[in-house]
Chain A
Amino acid sequence: MRGLDILTEFSKKAGEKLEPKNIKIDDTTLRDGEQTAGVVFANDEKIYIAKMLDRIGVHQIEAGIPTMGGDEKDAIKAITALNLNCSILGWNRAVVSDIDDSIECGVDAVAISISSSDIHIEHKLRKSREWVLESVRTSVDHAKKYNLYVSVNAEDASRSDMEFLLQFARTAKDTGADRMRYCDTLGILDPFETFMRVKTIKDIVGIDIEMHTHNDFGMAIANAIAGVKAGATYVNTTINGLGERAGNASFEEFVMALKYLENVNMDIDTKLFRDLAEYVAIASGRFLPTWKPIVGANLFVYESEIRAATTLKDPKTFELFGPEDVGLERKIIIGKSSGVNTLTHKLKELGYKIGEKEAAELAEIIREKALLLKRALFDSEIIDSYNSFMGARAAKTASNSKGGK
Chain B
Amino acid sequence: MAGELKERKINIIDTTLRNGEQAAGVVFSKHEKIRIARMLDEIGVPEIEIGTPTIGPLEREIIKEIAASDIKCKLFVYCEASPENVEIADCCGIKNVILNISTSDLHIKVKYEKNRTWVLNQLRESISAAKEHRMEFIVSAEDATRTDLEFLLKVLNLAQKREAYRFRICDTVSRLDPFRTFMLINNILNNTDFPIEVYNHNDFGMSTANAMASIRAGAVSLVTSVSGIGEGTGNAALEEIVMALKYLEDVDLGINTAKFREIAEYVAKASARAVPVWKAIVGTNVFAHESGIHADGVLKNPRNYEVFEPGEVGLTRQLVVGKHSGSHTILHKFKEFGIELTINEANDILALSRAMSVDLKRPLFDKELMYIYKDYEGKKPVKQEADDADV
Would you call A62 an interface residue if the criterion is a C-beta within 8 Å of the partner chain's C-beta atoms? no
A-B contact pairs, 27 of them (CB 8 A): A2-B189, A8-B186, A35-B294, A38-B288, A40-B363, A41-B361, A72-B323, A124-B296, A124-B297, A186-B305, A186-B306, A188-B247, A192-B216, A218-B207, A222-B206, A222-B209, A246-B280, A246-B283, A246-B286, A302-B24, A304-B24, A314-B110, A317-B107, A317-B111, A371-B29, A373-B27, A374-B29
CB distance from A212 to the nearest CB of B (A): 14
* B contact residues around A261 at 8 Å (CB): 175-177, 204
Q: What are the residues of chain B within 8 A of A93 when measuring CB–CB?
A: 293
In the complex, the answer to whether A42 meets B361 with C-beta atoms within 8 Å is: yes
A298 to B216, CA, bound (A): 32
A286 and B278 form a contact (CB under 8 A): yes
Chain B residue contacts of A304, Cβ below 8 A:
22, 24, 231
A236 to chain B, nearest CB (A): 15
Q: How many residues of B contact A (CB 8 A)?
A: 104
Is A48 part of the binding interface, using a Cβ–Cβ cutoff of 8 Å?
no
B287-326 interface code vs A (CB 8 A; 1 in, 0 out):
1111101101100110111110000000000101011100
Q: A333 to B233, Cβ gap below 8 A?
A: no
| Given A3-B4, A37-B290, A217-B247, also A299-B176 (CB < 8 A) | no
Query: For residue B363, which residues in chain A have a CB less than 8 angstroms away from its CB?
Result: 37-38, 40
- What is the bound-complex CA distance between A2 and B196, given in angstroms? 15
B residues 231-254 with Cβ under 8 Å of A?
231-234, 236-237, 240, 243-244, 247-249
Task: Select one of A11, A40, A190, A317 contacting B212, CB under 8 A.
Answer: A190
Complex Cα distance, B58 from A271, in Å, reads: 41
By a CB distance below 8 angstroms, the chain B residues around A319 are 173
For A340, the chain B residues whose CB sits under 8 A away are none
Residues on A lying within 8 angstroms of B by beta carbon are 1-4, 6-8, 10-12, 14-15, 34-38, 40-42, 65, 68, 70-72, 93, 119-120, 123-124, 185-192, 195, 215-223, 225-226, 229, 241-247, 250, 253, 256-257, 260-262, 285-287, 289-294, 296, 298-299, 301-304, 306-307, 310, 313-314, 316-320, 333, 335-337, 364, 367-368, 370-371, 373-376
B343 at the interface (CB under 8 A from A): no
Per the bound structure, the CA–CA distance linking A243 and B208 in Å amounts to 19
Contacts A186-B307, A335-B27, A367-B56; is A293 near B285 (CB within 8 Å)? no
Whether B58 pairs with A190 at a CB distance below 8 angstroms is no
Chain A residues, Cβ within 8 Å of B212:
190, 219
Q: Select one of A4, A188, A287 contacting B276, CB under 8 A.
A: A287
A318 touching B280 by the CB < 8 A rule? Answer: no
Residues B286 and A245 in contact, CB atoms below 8 Å apart: yes
Residue of A nearest to B181 (CB): A11
Chain A residues with Cβ below 8 Å from B179 are: 10-11, 14-15, 191, 195, 226, 229
Given that A2-B189, A37-B285, A119-B304 are contacting pairs, would A219 and B209 also be in contact in the complex, using a CB cutoff of 8 Å?
yes
Across the interface, do B178 and A320 meet the contact criterion of CB distance under 8 Å?
no
Beyond A8-B186, A38-B290, is A292–B247 a contact (Cβ under 8 Å)? no
Which one of B205, B243, B274 contacts A253 once the chains associate, using CB atoms below 8 Å? B205
For the complex formed, measure the closest distance between the CB of B110 and the CB atoms of chain A, giving whole angstroms: 4
> B178 touching A192 by the CB < 8 A rule?
yes
Q: Are B216 and A293 in touch, CB under 8 angstroms?
A: no
Q: Collect the chain B residues with CB atoms within 8 Å of residue A376's CB.
A: 24-25, 27
CA distance A286 to B277 in the complex (A): 8
B260 near A: Cβ within 8 Å? Answer: no
Q: A2-B189, A7-B216, A124-B297 are in contact. Are A218 and B209 (CB under 8 A)?
A: yes
Minimum-distance CB pairs A-B, first 3? A222-B209, A218-B208, A37-B290
A366 to B179, CA, bound (A): 44
B358 with A71: CB separation less than 8 A: yes
Is B183 interfacial (CB-CB < 8 Å)?
A: yes
Asked whether any CB of chain A lies closer than 8 Å to the CB of B190, the reply is yes
The proximity string for B residues 269-287 relative to A, scoring 1 for CB distances below 8 Å and 0 otherwise, is: 0001110111111010111
A38:B277 contact, CB within 8 angstroms: yes
**Given known A7-B1, A190-B209, contact A293–B362 (CB-CB < 8 A):** no
**Interface hits, B339-361 → A, CB 8 Å:** 354-355, 357-358, 360-361
Known contacts A186-B306, A261-B177, A318-B172; is-contact A246 B56 (Cβ 8 Å): no
Question: Which residues of chain B are near A215, meaning CB under 8 Å?
Answer: 278, 280
Smallest CB–CB gap between A295 and chain B, Å? 10
User: Contacts A8-B186, A119-B303: A37 and B25 contacting too (C-beta < 8 A)?
Assistant: no
Residue in chain A with minimal CB distance to B230: A291
Closest to B111 in A: A310
CA–CA, A364 to B293, complex, Å? 58
